[in-house]
């Protein structure tokens, strides 16, 4: 620890100079809360995240309120934050209807949420894998026609609660299909947090072989088995420069009541800063934001860095 609550900086060779953090706390985190967070609190959360230097903040999801009531206020929330300077605010769109709502509000970045496995496509989207891709195709095409940036999430890239290990070539097939549709970037999700570093390396290598360049790949690790940051390091060593994370580790995991789901942005920033990798994030302001959000939610942040730094401040 340095006296100012920041790690000592010692770069390591072979790592990128800069990483873009795709902050998912406001969407992926808050959609897992039992009760919906008030719209004004969400807006303030997003403003504070931008104030901490995060430049890509996934704001909400234009999914039908029946499926995700926690984010039913997307149409009210988005206009409250859409003019934030310096921050891109992607939103999730499940289908044409969601895309229309997002475009009507001026969204410039959207994301679709695909699955690498049949079981999760069935459970989450009630479709076969190919049917779900067929649904996304016109959504992606319409978005691209409007000049909108499209991210394609691919969930269950490393393991699936029903199917077990997921073959990398199956993930690659979904990834190339999303790229062929026009997705500008992909986010490889370890939705149940089971991956280890060799799997990460193997999948990234295979994607490169199949013509998906590392520059368009983001990684999205969950910390269910404590592997998220080690897997992120493996991805950085492969050249990945986009990492998804959730402020304060927001976002529950259905498989472990008290464990976190998402990699905590603060834990990620601690590592990146220690490695001398630029993120533009002010760790102190980010931690203060997560402490504030934890107060709104009435329970402590699961981020270890947030706990360590906020305890230190007392």
What phi, psi does 35 have (nearest 5°)? Answer: -115, 145
- Interhelix angle 197-209/228-238, rounded to 10 degrees, is 30
CB closer to a copy of itself, 65 vs 239: 239
Q: How far is CA 199 from CA 204, 234, 267, 271, in A?
A: 9, 10, 22, 21
Q: Candidates 29-37, 38-46, 91-99, 306-314 — which segment interacts with a copy of itself by CB under 8 A?
A: 306-314
What is the nearest approach in angstroms of a copy of itself to the Cβ of residue 195? 7
Residue 23 binding a copy of itself, by CB under 8 A:
no
What is the nearest approach in angstroms of a copy of itself to the Cβ of residue 214? 17
Site for a copy of itself in 202-231 (CB under 8 A): 202, 223-227, 229-230
Residue 41 binding a copy of itself, by CB under 8 A:
no
| Total of chain residues touching a copy of itself, rule CB under 8 A | 58
What phi, psi does 169 have (nearest 5°)? Answer: -65, -30
Per-residue tokens: 91: 């939103």
What is the nearest approach in angstroms of a copy of itself to the Cβ of residue 264? 7
> CA torsion angle for 164, 175, 63, 242 (degrees, to 10)?
100
Dist. CA 115–CA 178, nearest whole Å: 11
Nearest to 238 by CA among 265, 266, 217: 217
8-state DSSP, 121: I
* Interface mask toward a copy of itself for 266-285; x: CB under 8 A: -x--xx-xxxx---------
Question: Among residues 260, 262, 279, 290, which is the contact residue for a copy of itself, using CB under 8 A?
Answer: 260
Residue 10 binding a copy of itself, by CB under 8 A:
yes
Question: Among residues 37, 148, 234, 245, which is the contact residue for a copy of itself, using CB under 8 A?
Answer: 234
Question: Among residues 51, 65, 161, 239, which is the contact residue for a copy of itself, using CB under 8 A?
Answer: 161
Largest CA distance in the chain: 55
In terms of Cβ atoms closer than 10 Å to its own Cβ (0-12, 13-18, 19+), residue 41 is middle
Which residues have a catalytic role annotated? 253
Contacting positions for a copy of itself (CB under 8 A):
1-3, 7-12, 158-161, 164-165, 192-199, 201-202, 223-227, 229-230, 232-234, 253, 255-260, 264, 267, 270-271, 273-276, 300, 303-305, 307-308, 311-312
């Amino acid at each position: 620890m340095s006296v100012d609550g920041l790690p000592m900086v010692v770069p390591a060779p072979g790592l990128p100079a800069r990483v873009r953090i795709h902050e998912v706390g406001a969407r992926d985190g808050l959609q897992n809360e039992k009760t919906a967070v008030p719209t004004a609190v969400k807006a303030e959360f997003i403003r504070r995240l931008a104030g901490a230097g995060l430049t890509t903040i996934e704001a909400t999801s234009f999914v039908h309120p029946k499926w995700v009531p926690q984010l039913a206020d997307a149409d009210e929330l988005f206009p409250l934050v859409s003019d934030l300077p310096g921050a891109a605010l992607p939103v999730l769109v499940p289908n044409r209807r969601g895309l229309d709502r997002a475009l009507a509000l001026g969204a410039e970045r959207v994301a679709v949420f695909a699955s690498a496995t049949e079981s999760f496509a069935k459970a989450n989207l009630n479709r076969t894998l190919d049917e779900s891709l067929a649904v996304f195709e016109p959504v992606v095409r319409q978005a691209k026609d409007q000049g909108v940036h499209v991210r394609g999430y691919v969930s269950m890239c490393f393991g699936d609660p029903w199917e077990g290990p997921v073959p990398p070539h199956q993930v690659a097939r979904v990834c190339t299909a999303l790229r062929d549709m026009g997705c500008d970037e992909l986010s490889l999700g370890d939705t149940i947090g089971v991956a280890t570093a060799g799997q990460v390396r193997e999948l990234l290598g295979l994607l490169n072989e199949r013509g998906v360049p590392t520059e368009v790949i983001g990684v999205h690790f969950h910390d269910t088995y404590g592997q998220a940051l080690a897997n992120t390091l493996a991805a950085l060593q492969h050249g990945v420069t986009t990492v998804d994370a959730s402020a304060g580790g927001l976002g529950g995991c259905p498989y472990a009541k008290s464990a976190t789901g998402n990699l905590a942005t603060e834990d990620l920033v601690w590592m990146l800063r220690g490695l001398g990798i630029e993120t533009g994030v002010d760790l102190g302001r980010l931690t203060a934001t997560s402490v504030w959000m934890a107060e709104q939610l009435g329970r402590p942040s699961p981020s270890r860095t947030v706990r360590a730094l906020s305890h230190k401040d007392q």
